[in-house]
Structure 1
Amino acid sequence: MLKLKGWLGVPHRDNPFQHVDRFPEDRHPRYVPPLDDFRKVLDLAGPRRRQLLLLAFHTAPRRSELWKLKWSEVDFGLGLVGYWTRKRRSGNAEFDELPMSAGLRAKLAEWKLVSGAEDLVFGSRFNGLLDPNNRWLKRLCAEAGVKPFGFHGIRHLAARVAIDNGATIMEVKHLLRHKSIATTQRYIGRRRPPAPWKPRMRPWPMRSETDPGAMTLAGAA
């Protein structure tokens, strides 16, 4: 850019803010609920909310990706669910597919029958839950007597429980659809050093869609 300005004869001016000292800031780690707390909330959730929370836990999408999920992006034959994301440096939309466990696939198939001809997996029946502040989820947390958490906390929880139950960091990186292993490492904390990547298209570490705490590499079963 400086060379371009020189060629065009545009005078260079310093950025007036580059000489200003940065203010100190306190960084607070994102709250990740204990698995038992997530179970308590799941037990209190009605059918719609339970389906939403189960898919959030099993496939670890970002909240916006969950709301945009279409039935055309769920492949029951191959057992795959796909999410579009723009959370990449290029800003381009990219499509990533993740394997589902047999139990999760069955639950989604049941939900498809209930949802009828709607294009979105979580369509008009979920309009009351399209709350950027997660107020309905906070109310469930209060009812369960646990500290409030949101969808991003569930995403972190899924990653940590997967690691604790045998998944490699590279597998969790694929689950979270990160481009950088360093980002995944921040999600899981100091749980395990990186291990070699062994590609496999099998469900992620969820033994049972009704008991998210019983997690292991389901494809091994």
Structure 2
Amino acid sequence: MFSAASYDYLLDCEDRDMTTGTVQEKLNHLTEFAEWTLTYIQRINPEAVDFLLDDVSLEIARKYYRHTCKARTVKTANNHVKNLKACWNFHIKEERILSNPWPKLEKSEGDEAPVYIPPAEDVVAAYNAAETWQQDYIQILLKTGGRAGDPRKLKWESVDFANGTLSFWTKKRKGGKKEYRIISMPEGSTLHTLLLKIWKDREIESEYVFNNPRTGTGYTRQADGIKYMLHYACAIAGVRRFTLKDLRDFVALRLDDSKEASLTDIQNILGHKRPTTTDIYLKAKRGNTETAARILDNDDLV
């Protein structure tokens, strides 16, 4: 039955050490699908309270997909399909079912809202309006192209001053596999100097580079100083609001505009798993993080 199938799948996701946010997203998508499908099935069988995975035909999958596209967005609907397909695939692997309707759907590309990349002057204005420790946080993102939460989760054990590197880890891989990417920060670089300053100025012993004084440990994703960091800074600076996530796109664009970093250099420092087919044909030599890190270090934006 779908309820038991969902439960088993989510337990497997937790066993594979997927992040809490990823598991919660999957739970939400499975729940929304269950509610919609029960309503659909109850038209024929008003007593239905659950349904078999095998009851979900391609027709039902297609109708749910179209419903989600209209009720939400195409991007959200495609994300639902990704998680539902993964649930079915898990049970096929366990030899509980034989077929999966989700890969057979013809998904729409849709009209997604354009990505907003703040201009350099707005980034500088927001940086100057932020608190000192937040400026350090922003600076790390600007020098590494890291994900919004990378500095928040950064531990001192991942900062190697002797060898001039720091490591960010991610679980944004198929199956939630944990992988590291190493960022170059040679002695004398802005990143090396900044982290050394934070290390020397720290007031208490903590495994985290950014320690929350209220809790004595690292910041959570929902901590006020993190979640609303750029909300406040942009408001004070009087510029259009952008997010920590937008800084990643901003860095990628600056690297690309520099004409010094190859696309594979950029992909490596951003921690993307593989280049696109076009990149493979265009770039014969695989890049690394050193070129991109050097360009960002020489970028005296702030």
Q: TM-score, normalised by structure 2?
A: 0.57
Partner of 1:178: 272
Write out aligned runs for 1:1-221 (5 A): 12-15=54-57, 17-20=60-63, 22=66, 23-24=69-70, 25=73, 26-100=111-185, 102-115=189-202, 116-125=204-213, 127=219, 130-131=223-224, 134-165=227-258, 166-182=260-276, 194-200=282-288, 202=290, 203-208=293-298, 211-212=300-301
Shift of 1:208: 4.2
**Contact in 1 for aligned 2:231/2:242 (Cα 8 Å):** yes
> d(CA) in 2 for partners of 1:100 and 1:50?
18
Partner of 2:30: none
SS of the equivalent of 1:205 reads: helix
Shift of 1:104: 1.5
Shift of 1:152: 0.9
Shift of 1:200: 4.6
Q: Which 5+ residue runs of structure 1 have no aligned equivalent?
A: 1-9, 186-192, 214-221
**Contact in 2 for aligned 1:169/1:194 (Cα 8 Å):** no
- CA-based RMSD of the aligned residues comes to 3.1
> d(CA) in 1 for partners of 2:123 and 2:181?
26
> d(CA) in 2 for partners of 1:98 and 1:77?
14
SS of the equivalent of 1:32 reads: coil
Q: Which 5+ residue runs of structure 2 have no aligned equivalent?
A: 1-51, 74-110
Shift of 1:118: 1.3
Runs of 4+ in 1 over 6 A off after TM superposition: none
Amino acid at match of 1:121: V
> d(CA) in 2 for partners of 1:45 and 1:11?
51
> d(CA) in 2 for partners of 1:11 and 1:201?
45
Structure number with higher helix proportion = 2
Shift of 1:130: 2.7
Larger RCO, structures 1/2 (Cα 8 Å, 6+ apart): 1
Aligned length: 196
Shift of 1:19: 3.8
In structure 2, relative to structure 1, the CA distance for the partners of 1:195 and 1:131 (3 Å cut) is farther
Amino acid at match of 1:17: I
**Contact in 2 for aligned 1:175/1:204 (Cα 8 Å):** no
Shift of 1:64: 2.6
In structure 2, relative to structure 1, the CA distance for the partners of 1:142 and 1:194 (3 Å cut) is farther
